[in-house]
C-alpha cells in the first residue's frame, strides 16, 4: 500500500482526509461502535448511520470537523442522551462552516 505524507493546516486536515479517503480514523472508529441497548438511542443512531450511507458525497465529504457532524451527533447521543444530544448537535451544525474546522470533541465530552 502506498502512503503519502504532506503538510496541511490542522483546520483543513479533516476535509482533506475525507476528500482523499472518504473518511477519517475518528469517523471510522465511531462507526464501528456497537449499537446501544436502549431502543430510542438505537433507533436514533441507526437513522444517523442510514443518513451517512445515503447522503451524497458532496455533503458527506465537506465537513470541516473531525469527527464529522453526524459522527459527533452519534457521540453526543451516546454520552448525553437524546435531549442534550439534540442540543449539542444543533450547536455543532451552527458552527460547521469553512474556516472553523479541526478536531472538535470538547463539547461532547464536557456537555457544551
Total structural domains in the chain?
A: 1
Higher-scoring residue by pLDDT: 35, 7: 35
Q: Is 22 contained in some domain? A: yes
Q: Is 59 contained in some domain? A: yes
Contacts of 79-88 with CB under 8 Å at 24 or more apart are 79/108, 79/109, 80/108, 80/111, 81/41, 82/40, 82/41, 82/44, 84/111, 84/112, 85/44, 87/112, 88/112
Residue 112 has pLDDT above 50, yes or no: no
Q: What is the pTM of this model?
A: 0.80
Q: What is the mean pLDDT of the chain?
A: 83
Q: Which residue carries 438505537 as its cell?
A: 42
Q: Is 96 contained in some domain? A: yes
Domain holding 99, by residue range, is 13-26+38-110
User: What DSSP character marks residue 34?
Assistant: P
Q: Is 5 contained in some domain? A: no
Amino acid at each position: 500500500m502506498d502512503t503519502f505524507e504532506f503538510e496541511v493546516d490542522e483546520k483543513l486536515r479533516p476535509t482533506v482526509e475525507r476528500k482523499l479517503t472518504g473518511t477519517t480514523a475518528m469517523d471510522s472508529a465511531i462507526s464501528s461502535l456497537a449499537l446501544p441497548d436502549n431502543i430510542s438511542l438505537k433507533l436514533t443512531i441507526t437513522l444517523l448511520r442510514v443518513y451517512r450511507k445515503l447522503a451524497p458525497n458532496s455533503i458527506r465529504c465537506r465537513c470541516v470537523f473531525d469527527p464529522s457532524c453526524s459522527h459527533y451527533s452519534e457521540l453526543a447521543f451516546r454520552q448525553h442522551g437524546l435531549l442534550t444530544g439534540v442540543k449539542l448537535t444543533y450547536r455543532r451544525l451552527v458552527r460547521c462552516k469553512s474556516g472553523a474546522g479541526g478536531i472538535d470533541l470538547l463539547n461532547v465530552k464536557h456537555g457544551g
